[in-house]
Structure 1
Amino acid sequence: MKNWLLPLKTLAFTAVLGALVFSCEKDDPSDIDNDLQGDPLKETFELAKTWNDVQLGVERFTPGYRPPIAARTLGYTGLAAYEAIVNGMSDKYNSFDGYFKGLDIPEPNSGEEYHWPTVLNATYARAITHFYPTAPAAQLFNVYSTEQDYNEKFRLDVPNAVYVRSQDFGRLVADAVFNWSRTDKEGDGAFLRTSDPNYVPPGGVGKWKPTFPDFSPALLPHWGKVRTFVADATDVCPEPLAYSTDPNSEIYKQALEPFNLVNQIKAGTGNAATEHWIADFWSDDCATLTFTPAGRFIAVATQLIEKEDLSLGEAVELYARVGMGLADAGIRSWHQKFTYNYQRPIDYIRQVMPNASNWNSVMCPDGSGRYFTPPFPAYPSGHATFGAVAAEIFSNVLGENYQFTDRCHEGRTEFIGKPRTFTSFRQMAEENAYSRLPIGVHFRMDATSGVSLGYGIGKKVNKLPWRK
């Protein structure tokens, strides 16, 4: 099941005995035992889980962190966390120092001791503070208090010199990754400029334009220029279906699908209950209501990490893989969106289908009674691309035929968040992609091509030299 996982449950008795010889004040570095440096492959996943939960909360409430920006940030913070502790893991693991052009990761001092959980704690806190400078005060307080809670524990566990050295190193790694991220000028600070007032969508029949009811300007029309980790110009989608108003055309038939599904949901007929459940379950469209569609798959990763009881090192690696894949999924799907500029179903249906001039989606169940369509072209689906890249990475790590239940929104009452169970990650990805049809914002071709695009990017992430 765990294709790359190392043995986890070892030396418990030795660890207990070692803990007994530790005093509350640690001043002599020679006192620290190798088993008490916080070996990331022996420590539990809890530290990484806590920080990823914190980051999803920060993402949720910070203005401007829409899906592609949120995904890019998850990629960089995930990479920073991985680089922070890779030197404390087995020598089978590789650093990406120098692998990515311009990335210069500091090295720990030769022959000196580090407490790797302290390193990681400092890295997460510093990185999140760097990448979310406009976060609300409540979210920043959560970052600072989380860091302090762990620091109070760690400073009792290790010699003071090791504790201070570890904190300093963690911050240096976070600074190095953040500084590298800033050399990508198109992506840096994008949360402050999510639209371009000078951008004019290309005109023409069947082309995208701002949609009812809010007619918001294009979101991140230049995002395709952002630097990727592994994806490149070969990660593209086939030409979308030709635009046609002919009822016998393929695009007309594809428009009928969201049209009929939404009407069914609104009328409560047919299979409305299940279709509405799927639409709501995967939405993640309303800012502050949930995390973003990209952040969703960090939340899924957390559930898998808990289910498999991964070590700290394994958890950090999985978060890094998924985050970097999500970043590239956002960049390449947005590149293709603004290459083809394909019209959304709402405009096609209103303009072409009889007696449908008032038709609308059922996206964004926030209780306002107003429904929306995302402010960017339809083809391909970003939702589908995010889900597929995550599915490809999860499949590589845990196996193709892996059954799990997604409980991301269990207990939510604003929408249908009842858990859903899948027999494989590909089934998960394909349902996530399909969910954009009953919610009324995509054609089937958007979902199909987005899934294909995401699988390809996920394969490239898996081929990175994570291991020697």
Structure 2
Amino acid sequence: MKQVFIKTTLILLLVGSLMACQENGDYKEAMKDGAYQISAQTKLTDVMIHDIFSPPVASRIYAYSSIAAYEVAVLADSSYQSMMGQLNGFEKTNFDTSVEIHYPLASLAAYYKVATALIFSEEMMNAHYNTALKEIKSKGIPSKVFENSLALGESVGQHVLDYTKKDNYHQSRSFEKYTIRNDPGSWQPTPPAYMEGIEPHWSKIRTLTLDSANQFISAPPTVFSSDSSSQFFSEAKEVFNIVSNLTKEQKDIAFFWDCNPYKMNVKGHVMFAEKKITPGGHWMGIAGISSKTANLDWKGTSEALAMTSIALFDGFIACWDEKYRSVVIRPETYINRFIDEDWLPVLQTPPFPEYTSGHSVVSNAAAETLTHLFGDSFHFVDSTEVAYGLPIREFNSFRLAAEEAAISRLYGGIHYMPAIVNGATKGTHVGNHLLAKVKTRKDENNSAIAAKSEEIK
């Protein structure tokens, strides 16, 4: 009995000692990397695929959720700079940090607060959040600190949600639908679903950094003509010829960057949607992969996700502004009318006008931002599409990845070259404007991530 008592006492002392260590601050080491931030984003992507959000709307959800997480990093580390006062209409406010807070947990709480409020399937996001909280509780964070952290995350998240309410999104839900024009050169719905034009008023959404949706207006598209000697016919014939003679590599590239959440399949009399990631979701995946590759902590990860999401958000607004101004006919429609009535593109044509290419704009906007953060020659393995049945692709820079994403739309048969080239230019302007307007580090050069990236090469 004496030995049993001694062993029991020793066990209790050991447990008490471990708890004391946790109470003395060992728990502060928990969640130091960006794993929980990346996991939350991955789940958000899954939910948005389930809910079938359009690419522009998905970019809005990514942006506000990521901004909320980043703003907690600012409170945790004085070397970071708040986006309040830098983003359009994002008013400054103060948060109570006088109590002890576990900031990585607060950042996660802010992310889930905003993300859950902006999606449809809240129960899916809440279930993922609750599972994460149970795991985090086991890391020994004192109950009071745990509660303080969730409260701060709630407060920051609510401030961001208040910010979302003034961006004209909810008002735009009641705007009129796009009216199909009768002129032969304008966009028409395409098979198999002949869906109406998506988000025709997206240019009216408040930008985050751009002065206006048309700040970087593109050169006018090629003048429409059905004449076989015209420039427009030549551009359409280029699409026709490329698609008719694709190499395996070109076809692989087209499918890798497809990112079409609207893909409809027809079997007999049944039509059903094949749910896919959006182009913004793909680039947010790249931002997460790069953060992990660079061994960033949770603050650096939050910074990378926030900056990338802002580039995507403004990129979509700038792109959609041009799409519904020029309303250019898609290659599928043109080629079927004037070249070959039986021709089909490799990829399913998305339900909105052709000019400029959305992939070209947002990919280049994101690439400029990520290049600034991680460096010009950053090698990464893009496994974003593995979950959707596609293999990995490797890139030696973000700009090379953006270049491939842009040209993939020609290989897919859904864009003419001017939309790709001019879209890439627009995206580069959007990304550089963001970097000029928003500073996330007090030293104003955001050099910390790029320097760390150089170390791991």
TM-score by length of 1: 0.82
> What amino acid does structure 1 have at the position aligned with 2:58?
A
Deviation at 1:110, TM superposition (A): 5.0
1:38/1:248 CA distance change after superposition, 3 Å: farther
Deviation at 1:291, TM superposition (A): 1.6
Q: Contact 2:65/2:112 (CA < 8 Å) preserved in 1?
A: no
Alignment of 1:316-331 (within 5 A): 316-331=302-317
Contact 2:59 2:280 (8 Å CA) reproduced = yes
Deviates more, 1:160-169 or 1:170-179: 160-169
Which letter does structure 1 place at the counterpart of 2:192?
A: P
Q: Write the deviation string for residues 413-454 of structure 1: whole angstroms up to 9, x where unpaired.
A: 4xxx22222232211111101111121111111111111111
2:358 alignment partner in structure 1: 382
Alignment of 1:306-385 (within 5 A): 306-353=292-339, 356-363=340-347, 372-385=348-361
Q: CA deviation at 1:410?
A: 3.1
Which residue pairs with 2:60 in the alignment? 72
Quick one: distance in 1 between partners of 2:380 and 2:113?
33
Runs of 4+ in 1 over 4 A off after TM superposition: 19-22, 35-40
> For the Cα contact (< 8 Å) 1:104–1:176, is it kept in 2?
no
Equivalent in the alignment of 2:43: 54
Q: CA separation in 1, counterparts of 2:365 and 2:399? A: 10
State how far apart, in whole Å, the 1-side matches of 2:116 and 2:97 are.
Answer: 29
Asked if residue 145 in structure 1 is aligned to residue 130 in structure 2, the reply is yes
**Which residue identity does 1:299 align to in structure 2?**
G
Task: Look up the equivalent residue of 2:112 and give its one-letter code.
Answer: A
Q: Of the two, which has the highest radius of gyration?
A: 2
Q: Return closer, same or farther for 1:330/1:411 CA change in 2, 3 Å cut-off.
A: closer
Find the counterpart in structure 2 of residue 302 from structure 1.
Answer: 288
Q: Which amino acid in the other structure matches residue 160 of structure 2?
A: V
Which 10-residue stretch deviates more, 214-223 or 104-113? 104-113
Asked if 1:409 corresponds to 2:385, the answer is: yes
Shift in Å, 1:205: 3.1
Q: Is the 8 A contact 1:67 1:293 kept in 2?
A: yes
The RMSD of aligned alpha carbons is 2.5
Partner Cα separation in structure 2 for residue 51 and residue 140 of structure 1: 9
Q: Could you list the per-position Cα deviations for residues 126-181 of structure 1 after superposition, in whole angstroms to 9, with x for gaps in the alignment?
A: 1121111x2174x2354343443344235x22x32222111111011111101110
The amino acid of 2:161's aligned partner reads F
Counterpart for residue 8 of structure 1: none
- Report SS of the residue matched to 2:170: coil
* Structure 2: runs of 5+ lacking an equivalent: 1-14, 263-273, 443-457
**C-alpha distance in 2, partners of 1:68/1:377?**
14
How many residues in Structure 1 have an aligned counterpart in Structure 2?
414
Change beyond 3 A, Cα 1:105–1:290: farther
CA distance in 1, matches of 2:66, 2:193: 34
Name the TM-score, length of structure 2 as normaliser: 0.84
Tell me if 1:425 matches 2:398: yes
Give 1 or 2: higher helix fraction.
2
Give the Cα separation in 2 of the matches to 1:275 and 1:202: 34
Q: Say whether residues 1:81 and 2:69 are aligned partners.
A: yes
2:255 paired with 1:274: no
Deviations 1:271-307 (A, max 9, x none): 2x11210111110114553321111001111111121
Question: Against the structure 1 CA distance between its residues 170 and 128, is the aligned structure 2 distance closer, same or farther, given a 3 Å change threshold?
Answer: same
Go from structure 1 to structure 2 and tell me whether the alpha carbon gap of 1:24 and 1:127 turns closer, same or farther (over 3 Å shift).
farther
Change (3 A) 1:304 1:458: same
Picking from 184, 188, 191, the partner of 2:170 is 188
Is the contact between residue 108 and residue 169 of structure 1 (CA under 8 Å) also seen in structure 2? yes
Partner Cα distance (2:388, 2:117) in 1: 31
Q: Is residue 384–residue 392 contact of structure 2 (8 Å, CA) maintained in 1?
A: yes
Match of 2:19 in 1: 23
Q: 1:255 to 1:429 in 2, by over 3 A?
A: same
Q: In structure 2, what is the equivalent of residue 175 of structure 1? A: 158
- Contact residue 411 and residue 418 of structure 1 kept, 8 A: no
Q: Which residue of 1 aligns with 2:195?
A: 216
Instruction: Give the aligned partner of residue 3 of structure 1.
Output: none
Q: Which residue matches 2:242?
A: 261
**Corresponding residue of 1:15:** none
What is the alpha-carbon distance in structure 2 between the residues aligned to residue 397 and residue 85 of structure 1? Answer: 16
* Residues 404 and 23 (structure 1), Cα distance of their counterparts in 2 relative to 1, 3 Å cut: same
Of 108, 115, 137, the match for 1:128: 115
Paired amino acid for 2:68: A
8 Å Cα contact 2:167-2:206 kept in structure 1? yes
The aligned amino acid for 2:402 is A
**Corresponding residue for 1:447?**
420
Preserved CA contact (<8 Å) 1:125 1:143:
no
Kindly indicate whether the alpha-carbon contact (under 8 Å) linking 1:350 and 1:357 is maintained by their aligned counterparts in 2: yes
Deviation at 1:411, TM superposition (A): 6.8
2:106 is aligned to: 119
